Amino acid sequence: MDKKPEKLVPEVRFKGFTDDWEQHKLGETLTGFEYGLNTPATDYDGINKYLRITDIDDVSHKFDISHLTSPKLKDDNYLLANGDILFARTGASVGKSYRYSNIDGKVYYAGFLIKAHIKDHFSTNFIFDTTLLPRYHYFVQVTSMRSGQPGINAKEYQKYIIYTPSESEQNKISDLILTIQKLIDLQQRKLKQLERLKTAMLQQLLANQRFPKVRFNDFKDSWKDYRLGEVFDEFSVKSKRENEYKLLSSTTSGMESRSGRVSGHSNIGYKVIDNGDIVLSPQNLWLGNINLNNMGKGIVSPSYHTFKIVNANPIFVNFQLKTEKMLFEYKMVSVQGASVVRRNLDMDAFKKIVIKIPNEKEQIKIASLFSSISNIINNHQNKLTQLSTLKKYLLQKMFI
């Protein structure tokens, strides 16, 4: 059971609002609570959309239109309209919520979803936002417990306790949250466009051909073949003192660090690396777990392979190693591990992979371009993180 706050006001409010908020059951703010349409999905007909639990994005709670379908049988009693909110009632996604928007078009909702409609004097956006609060997730966790598959039925949803201010304050709060969400959506679109641009340019400028089709002006020379064993100089220098360096770990998104010792272990035996060194995971390399260290001197676990780049520009080589062709090559030299999703690297075969490298000036040009693009992407990712953090903060402070 939720404890009633001593004073029903949030920590942060707009000026001019001083009244206590009121406690309600969700069923007092929404009406209907009707189960969805039980019919199979068919190929999308271009007009009628079918919304299932899996079509609601886990993070944004928006309609994910990447795999559109239509309902086999169409019953307009199951069409969504303004003021409708959906709740997932069973399975691993129980509790997931969705707020209908006109931009989603003509949408029917499926059987494992429950539809409710907003009542007068309540804001659809505000009520929906209450389903993003930690209190709601706790309610879902506790209420959905079953001996078998997790689930929450319509009557149980209606009992969820929320706190609401006047309708005007609801609108002010929900408008602010909605504005921030629109900025988040815009930032995500920019980020995806930049990432697609980077991927496309990687495939064009780093096509691993002797004469790439796309090049900077004034470069005409053939790219030369090198085996990775000629470009990489493997090393395994051991650290001698505890806490001497930062601990680094390799991830698919880049290098991460944290200061101090490995939890429960001495740093002795860990490999020392420096700027420009390549670190790769011996497992699942074919998923792209290969990264350039640009965080200064540090140490990594001995389970990682570590290399110094010789005879080439490290930044150029790092980007060349991330092209689709190279990822395919890694897969070819990986061997099946203990499980289907785990593969281990055949190091001898890895060193025989051929990489094409231009002259030093062209390497520097290409490395500079992709470094700039990567920096822009990182800046946009930071802005997205800041906006997401701001939204989370406001949800915590402007709601009860």
The pLDDT assigned to 282 comes to 64
At residue 249 the predicted structure's pLDDT band, cuts being 50, 70 and 90, is: very low
- One-letter amino acid identity for 291? N
The pLDDT assigned to 244 comes to 45
Q: Give CA–CA dist 206/229, Å, rounded.
A: 19
Same fold, 22-164 and 224-357: yes
CATH code, 167-218+358-400: 1.10.287.1120
Residue 268 has pLDDT above 70, yes or no: no
Residue 360 has pLDDT above 80, yes or no: yes
The pLDDT assigned to 283 comes to 63
At residue 242 the predicted structure's pLDDT band, cuts being 50, 70 and 90, is: very low
Residue range 163-184: average pLDDT? 96
Q: Tell me the CATH class for 224-357.
A: alpha beta
The residue among 86 and 150 whose pLDDT is bigger is 86
CATH code, 22-164: 3.90.220.20
At residue 254 the predicted structure's pLDDT band, cuts being 50, 70 and 90, is: very low
Judged by average pLDDT, the poorest of 131-145, 165-179, 261-275, 364-378 is 261-275
The residue among 136 and 306 whose pLDDT is bigger is 136
Share of residues in the chain with pLDDT > 70 (%): 85
Which residue in 214, 207, 28 sits closest to 120, CA to CA? 28
What beta strand segments (E) does 53-177 contain?
Answer: 69-71, 84-88, 97-99, 106-109, 113-118, 161-164
The pLDDT assigned to 238 comes to 47
Q: Give CA–CA dist 375/233, Å, rounded.
A: 27
The pLDDT assigned to 298 comes to 79
Which residue in 52, 362, 317, 20 sits closest to 211, CA to CA? 362
- Asked if 213 contacts 258 with a C-beta cutoff of 8 angstroms, the reply is no
Helices (H), 38-91: none
Residue range 264-290: average pLDDT? 66
Q: What residues form DSSP beta bridges with 23?
A: 163
Three-class SS state of 211: coil
Per the prediction, the chain carries an average pLDDT of 85
Neighbours of 370 (CB within 10 A): 21
- One-letter amino acid identity for 265? H
**Domain ranges within the chain, ordered by starting residue:** 22-164, 167-218+358-400, 224-357
The pLDDT assigned to 246 comes to 52
